[in-house]
Structure 1
Amino acid sequence: MNELASHLKQIQRAFEGEAWHGPSLMEALDGVDCHMAKRHHVQGVHSIWEIALHTVAWKRAVTHWLESREFTVDEADNFPKPEEGDDAEWEHVLNALRVAQAELLAVVARLTNEKLYQSPPGRETVYSDYLFGIVHHDLYHAGQISLLKKAAQVEFSGGGIK
């Protein structure tokens, strides 16, 4: 397997599974409904909904940067709050996450092994660092979501972690 194929595989595993380390981002989101997603289960911590939208924003940012396009994640996009937070909106968020992942994978698939250690025009970070970074980002937030799901289970059961 060449290096680029390995990057593609890791990006996909961090997003949808078959990882040795634990749940992928989508596995962590499995079983989360709109009520669990929008609620702040830990005071001062972002909700699962906000984290999901945050990951969409950063996948889009990396996709743009890999294509040498400008993209800024402003505060409104970084951890946006849900408007109503109903089932349809939550499904829209999950779909936006899938679309952002597909767009990212399409751009990465067009890279070459030779480009991995070069920087996109106008940027200092090399392509491979963006690819490693998006894997780390997905896994960091998968862990965060997993902990918030545990907190929700405690909150809803009224007892300790089981």
Structure 2
Amino acid sequence: MTIIAQKLQNSLQQILSHDPWYGPATYDIIDNVSFEAAYELPPGSVHSIAGILLHMLGWTQEVTARMNGQAAGEPAGGDWPDPGHPDEAKWKQLIADFKLANVTLAGIIQNLPADKWDAPTNDARNREMGTGVSHESLIEGLVQHHVYHSGQIALLHRIVG
């Protein structure tokens, strides 16, 4: 594994399951959310916890596809898919799918050839879509995305918890 891959892998794992300096890891946050709380939409909120986690899952899968050379687009299920009605099994599956998507991405990070990290992804630069950046910037962006939305989930959980 290259130095860049190790750095990015460490960053991803730090925020997902280790001890980030700013607060609890993403997996600790979502593992403590009940399915009832996950689907509750507090007054004034646009998204539920389940909706935010679906969004995070979709973008993790989209970044994985881009790392594999696919052209950029919105996630297959859409940017903000509807989480549907509260369902305990569905919530547990969503958490499992999110964790698996990050394991899959970690494998790609570990195996990406050194000369690819500075190379642009398979798209022209479009700031709104996050395309045309280097593979390194793409992973850094996803880590930032995870941190941002993990904070939202933690705050929503305090409200509906």
TM-score by length of 2: 0.86
Q: How far off is 1:144 after superposition?
A: 0.5
30-39 vs 116-125, greater mean Cα deviation: 116-125
Unpaired segments of 5 or more residues in structure 2? 125-131
Q: How does 1:72-83 map to 2 (within 5 A)?
A: 72-73=73-74, 77-83=78-84
Match of 1:159 in 2: none
CA contact (8 A) 2:63 2:138 kept: yes
User: Cα–Cα, structure 1 residues 140 and 42, in superposed 2: closer, same or farther, change >3 Å?
Assistant: farther
Q: Distance in 2 between matches of 1:19 and 1:133?
A: 17
Question: What percentage of residue pairs aligned between the two structures are identical?
Answer: 24
> 2:132 matched to 1:131?
no
Q: Distance in 2 between matches of 1:99 and 1:144?
A: 21
2:93 counterpart letter in structure 1: H
CA contact (8 A) 2:71 2:123 kept: no
Secondary structure, counterpart of 2:78 in structure 1: helix
User: Cα–Cα, structure 1 residues 75 and 99, in superposed 2: closer, same or farther, change >3 Å?
Assistant: closer
Cα RMSD between the aligned structures? 1.9
Match of 1:157 in 2: none
CA contact (8 A) 2:62 2:72 kept: yes
Offset from partner CA, 1:9-62 (integer Å, 9 cap, x none): 111112222212212221221210111000012423210000000000000010
CA contact (8 A) 1:68 1:122 kept: no
Q: How does 1:48-127 map to 2 (within 5 A)?
A: 48-73=49-74, 77-123=78-124, 124-127=132-135
Q: Distance in 2 between matches of 1:22 and 1:2?
A: 26
Secondary structure, counterpart of 1:92 in structure 2: helix
2:6 counterpart letter in structure 1: A
Q: How far off is 1:76 after superposition?
A: 5.4
Structure 1 ranges of 4+ moved more than 3 A:
none
- Identify which of 143, 152, 155 aligns with 1:147: 155
Give 1 or 2 for the bigger CA radius of gyration: 1
Name the count of aligned residue pairs.
153
Secondary structure, counterpart of 1:85 in structure 2: coil
1:78 counterpart letter in structure 2: D
2:42 counterpart letter in structure 1: H
CA contact (8 A) 1:67 1:120 kept: no
Match of 1:2 in 2: 3
Unpaired segments of 5 or more residues in structure 1? 154-162
TM-score by length of 1: 0.85
Match of 2:129 in 1: none
2:137 counterpart letter in structure 1: D
Q: Distance in 2 between matches of 1:28 and 1:111?
A: 29
Q: How far off is 1:72 after superposition?
A: 2.6
